[in-house]
Amino acid sequence: MFGKGASPLKAKVPESGYIHKLDTEIEALRERLHRLVSSNPSQLRTLAVYELSTRLDDLITRLQTIKQEHSNHMATFQDCERSESVK
């Protein structure tokens, strides 16, 4: 299906460096949000907390989407390898 030596993963799955960058940014935002709210709980309803929380949600959603796509591509790749080995 993909030809000899071709991989369905190369074009569609981001490099692990991008995933690491997302992880790092998520952790930094999480720590910043935690510090902001734990130092002053009344900050919970501020625009700054809302914006941080929304950005954090977006990054987590993006990371989970990438991980799911990677999982799907791996399953497709394995299916292709199995079907080629049967031939």
Q: What is the mean pLDDT of residues 60-72?
A: 90
| CB-CB contact of 29 with 53 (8 Å) | no
Quick one: pLDDT at residue 67? Answer: 87
Identify the band that residue 11 occupies on the pLDDT scale cut at 50, 70 and 90: very low
Among 12, 19, 9, smallest CA distance to 78 is for: 9
Among 22, 27, 49, smallest CA distance to 37 is for: 49
Q: Which residue has the higher pLDDT, 12 or 80?
A: 80
- Return the sign of the alpha-carbon dihedral for residues 38, 40, 46, 47: negative
Query: What does pTM read for this prediction?
Result: 0.66
Quick one: pLDDT at residue 23? Answer: 95
